[in-house]
Amino acid sequence: MKTLISEEKLSRRVVELAAEIRQHYEGRPLTIVGVLIGSVVFLADLIRRLDLPLRVELVQARSYRNGDTRPGPLVINLDLLSSDVRGRDVLLVDDIFDTGNTLWELLPQIDELGPTSVRTAVLLRKEGRCQVPMKPDFVAFDIPNTFVVGYGLDHRDMYRNLPYVAALEPADLGEESSR
């Protein structure tokens, strides 16, 4: 495993990103909707740097099956949304924008609930992978096309608690690399 983004870099950039977001909303109340599970660490750090009146909500999106590093079918679950987002500015927060399919499918579902606006913020964006006609509004880091873990991101439900972002190397993938 190789460190890609250190703890210090993460924390510095989260402060900057929070300032960009705050500037955009100019003090208006915001509903932050985190996408489980990968966004939780980023979400927790971001909201503590965000000087705006805000609510926090969660939705679930899953695409990786059986701990694979290749995505399976996308399953979105909005059941955890507890407050009305009608007439609110919504910021969807996810861990990583890879093909973009997760946010692209999630956006219209949130839009149907009648928010004033829906924007997206991601910790990471993989270069050269986008398959959808949208770009995230706020991006903390662009990274090369490699499978990453840590700071909320997992491999087989492990490594979410690493305080930095690391690239998995073939040796870390164990039996998967021999498939």
DSSP 173: G
Q: Which residues fall within 8 angstroms of residue 32, CB to CB, at 6 or more apart?
A: 43, 46, 47, 50, 54, 55, 56, 57, 90, 91, 93
CB of residue 63 vs Mg ion: minimum separation in angstroms?
A: 7
The half-sphere exposure of 27 on its side-chain side, counting CA atoms within 13 A, is: 0
115 near Mg ion, rule: CB under 5 A: no
Residue from 102, 110, 115, 165 binding ligand 5GP (CB under 6 A): 102
| Amino acid sitting at position 74 | L
Most distant CA atoms of the chain, gap in Å: 52
* String of contacts with ligand 5GP for each residue 54-73, x by CB under 6 A: ---------xx---------
Distance CA 39, CA 121 (A): 10
Query: Of the residues 95, 98, 111, 172, which is catalytic?
Result: 98
| Closest-CA residue to 122 (of 89, 102, 97) | 97
Minimum gap (Å) between residue 55 Cβ and ligand 5GP? 21
- Categorise residue 53: left if φ over 0, alpha if ψ from -120 to 50, beta otherwise: beta
The residue (of 28 and 65) whose beta carbon lies closer to ligand 5GP is 65
Q: Note whether 154 binds ligand 5GP by CB under 6 A.
A: yes
Is position 98 annotated as part of the catalytic site? Answer: yes
Applying CB under 5 A, what is the total number of residues that bind Mg ion? Answer: 1
Q: Out of 85, 98, 121, 151, point to the residue binding ligand 5GP (CB under 6 A).
A: 98
38 binds Mg ion (CB under 5 A): yes
Q: Which of 25, 138, 141, 147 binds ligand 5GP (CB under 6 A)?
A: 147
CB of 96 to ligand 5GP, least distance (A): 5
Q: Which residues pair with 89 in a beta bridge?
A: 30, 117
Q: Give the catalytic positions in this structure.
A: 98
Q: Which spans of this chain sit near ligand 5GP (rule: CB under 6 A)?
A: 38, 63-64, 94-102, 147-149, 153-155
